[in-house]
Structure 1
Amino acid sequence: MAKDLFFSMDLNLLRTFLVLSQELNTRKASERLHVSQPAVSQGLQKLRAQLGDELFVKAPNGLKATPFAEQLALEVSPYLNGLSVALNKNRSFDPLSLNASIRIAVAPIVLTCLSGALFRHFSRVAPHCTLELVAWKGDSLKSIQSDETTLGVSFVHEPGQGVHMLQLVELEARIIVRNGHPIQSKTVTPAQMESYPIASVITPGYNEQLTEAAMIMEKEGLEPTVGFRSEFAMAVIDVIENTDFFMPHSTLFPVKRYPLLKALTPLIDGEPYLSEIYAYYNMKYRDTEFIMWLIEQVQQVIKQETVHDN
């Protein structure tokens, strides 16, 4: 009769295995597990013996999972995350006594508009926590997966293993131009903007290779020109203030803070164009009181800062 691994295996070893499968590096895994690097290596040896597979082999940049290990990680991850939620969900949560560091990775186009408002809001509702706002990068999903980042706020991305995504808000598109721009109407069509170059903010992992406004215009049979792109929103704003370029944005852009700029409403088939902002977080925190509270706070600030046209 085959040995029942569930009853014979130390479940801590599975936790070690899961972290190793995410980090593919024994040093980083030891830091996350708060144990020594030799302890991680010893745990890996025990797992290899019990499971009858090499699990991880050396690679130029760390470790590489075997096909068996990749499949095992995919299958056990939901159960270990569910166990974590079950053990932690009944703990009382009080934001006023929250004394922790909360790191939120925010898409550049959102970060510029929300950074101060988020800080002011959290200083009121959770005065003892430390808020860290960082720009969304190409490795932000991996950082969420490894618990280095608490929450991500960005456009739609493929979340990948161990990360959950939830829609935060739906925003109306706006086109930002200088006050002296030749276009004077409050609403515009893609055809009206065809002769003006686009200046767009790059969100890593979302529009690194393309600009959404250009794609929309191409679908209309137009030939858009992308004249400037940057991960730095302030660089794009500087270009807009001094040229006839236009910046695709949304009702989240704080146009009143920029007296040299104005916002136009783009219409696609006569209707405003909508885009979604999502929250990303580690699957193990799904439905926990803390993460639901955190998402609610970010939603409140986004809605509070969204410009409502008269």
Structure 2
Amino acid sequence: MTNSSFETLDLNLLKVFVVLAQELNTRRTAERMNVSQPAISRSLQKLREHFADELFVRAQHGLIATPKAEQLSLSLPSILAELANVVDHHNDFDPAKLEGVLKVAMHPMLLASVAKRLFVALQQHAPDLRLQVATWGADTCELIQRGQIDFGLCLLPVEGSKELVQRRLWRQPIYVYARDAHPIGDDIVTPQDFESYATALIHVPGWSAARTEAEKFLAAHGVEVTIGFRSELPGSIMDVLRVSDLVYPSVTYYPPEDIPGIRQLQLSEEFKGLALKYDTGYVFHYRNRQNPLYLWLQEILVEKCRDEIFSIN
């Protein structure tokens, strides 16, 4: 592109181009950018005229990028992200001025210990910012790339696009839960106990299709569990524990006051041979890696949402 060509280009059109390249659909692009579909079509026509190329051609299920559009897609997103960071850094970041909705996807095992604390922290530091939490699912990585989810909290590593940044926040161990009157007399659970009593396990679509972290941990110690109940909802697991002799191994820490009728069991010495730590991660799109908001959110997550029993090492 020549200098004169650049000088006549509306930079807002490049924003439209980037989203179109991600969505390959004018309707979804319009929804993401909060404009009408005809407005996106008009912007696309201007882009075609400017670059003297069709850029995106219609196909049966949306649009297909031309070679020219694919070439532009390799560099434009990072260039625009850096430009946004340069502009943002000229402004003093003030969480108290934040508005709108912060959309977060969380692994179900983190909901109980993190969601409430994040809400309280945001109410304190960014009272006009609303929190919307979704369960981490099979399409979460794609939604983060599209900008429909701001960031995710899950167990690392995440298999997804190289466009996603994965930062470790803290490490946490395996916990075991059972009802107060469970036949396991003391608060120590052994490999034999897991063989004697069926387990309840969390199921995360797109995440634990094969085995949960707890299952893999127990298998590493030679324990093959019998699954008595599996659910996507941690609350339903607690309800089942209260009326059964199931045990629930999990990487979730539930504060005792939040789970009446349930007690936490300690793993016996037989389990100490392997590390009991799992990484909790902060996942977001690389375009936000220098964004002051995302850097601040990382600090909030570590300082306000990490239990004192978790390790940052």
TM-score range, shorter chain: 0.7 to 0.9
> Structure 1 vs Structure 2: percent identity of aligned residues?
32
Q: SS in structure 2 opposite 1:130?
A: strand
In structure 2, the partner of 1:100 is 100
**Larger deviation, residues 171-180 vs 249-258:** 249-258
Counterparts of 1:244 and 1:296 in 2: how far apart (Å)? 40
RMSD across aligned positions (CA): 3.0
Amino acid at match of 1:18: V
Structure 1 runs not aligned, ≥5 long: none
Counterparts of 1:212 and 1:169 in 2: how far apart (Å)? 16
Counterparts of 1:7 and 1:171 in 2: how far apart (Å)? 56
Q: Does the Cα contact within 8 Å between 1:214 and 1:225 map onto a contact in 2?
A: no
The equivalences for 1:1-310 within 5 A come to 4=1, 8=5, 10=9, 11-45=11-45, 47=47, 50=51, 52=53, 55-60=56-61, 62-65=62-65, 69=69, 72-156=72-156, 157-250=158-251, 252-266=253-267, 268-271=271-274, 273-304=276-307
| 1:42/1:220 CA distance change after superposition, 3 Å | same
Instruction: Give CA deviations for 1:256-294 in whole Å, capped at 9, x if unaligned.
Output: 432321212336443551111111223222122211111
Q: Does the Cα contact within 8 Å between 1:255 and 1:262 map onto a contact in 2?
A: yes
Q: SS in structure 2 opposite 1:194?
A: helix
Q: SS in structure 2 opposite 1:228?
A: strand
Counterparts of 1:66 and 1:199 in 2: how far apart (Å)? 50
Instruction: Give CA deviations for 1:111-147 in whole Å, capped at 9, x if unaligned.
Output: 1333333322222222222222332233222332222
Counterparts of 1:101 and 1:188 in 2: how far apart (Å)? 43
The offset of 1:51, in angstroms, is 6.6
Instruction: Give CA deviations for 1:159-203 in whole Å, capped at 9, x if unaligned.
Output: 425332211111121111122323345444445413322211223
**Larger deviation, residues 41-50 vs 176-185:** 41-50
| 1:251/1:211 CA distance change after superposition, 3 Å | closer
| 1:25/1:291 CA distance change after superposition, 3 Å | same
Counterparts of 1:282 and 1:146 in 2: how far apart (Å)? 9
| 1:260/1:35 CA distance change after superposition, 3 Å | closer
Q: Does the Cα contact within 8 Å between 2:221 and 2:271 map onto a contact in 1?
A: no
Q: SS in structure 1 opposite 2:196?
A: coil
After superposing on structure 2, the runs of 4+ consecutive aligned residues of structure 1 that deviate more than 6 Å are none
Q: SS in structure 2 opposite 1:166?
A: strand
Counterparts of 1:98 and 1:276 in 2: how far apart (Å)? 29
| 1:271/1:8 CA distance change after superposition, 3 Å | same
Q: SS in structure 2 opposite 1:200?
A: strand
Q: SS in structure 1 opposite 2:174?
A: strand
Question: What TM-score does the superposition give when structure 2 sets the normalisation length?
Answer: 0.82
| 1:129/1:52 CA distance change after superposition, 3 Å | closer
Structure 2 runs not aligned, ≥5 long: none
Question: What TM-score does the superposition give when structure 1 sets the normalisation length?
Answer: 0.83
The offset of 1:93, in angstroms, is 1.1
Q: Does the Cα contact within 8 Å between 1:253 and 1:307 map onto a contact in 2?
A: no
| 1:220/1:115 CA distance change after superposition, 3 Å | closer
| 1:226/1:5 CA distance change after superposition, 3 Å | farther
The offset of 1:233, in angstroms, is 0.7
- Size of the aligned set, in residue pairs, is 304
Q: Does the Cα contact within 8 Å between 2:137 and 2:207 map onto a contact in 1?
A: no
Amino acid at match of 1:242: V
Amino acid at match of 1:217: L
**Larger deviation, residues 185-194 vs 105-114:** 185-194
Instruction: Give CA deviations for 1:215-270 in whole Å, capped at 9, x if unaligned.
Output: 33334444322222111111111112222222122362223432321212336443
Amino acid at match of 2:215: A
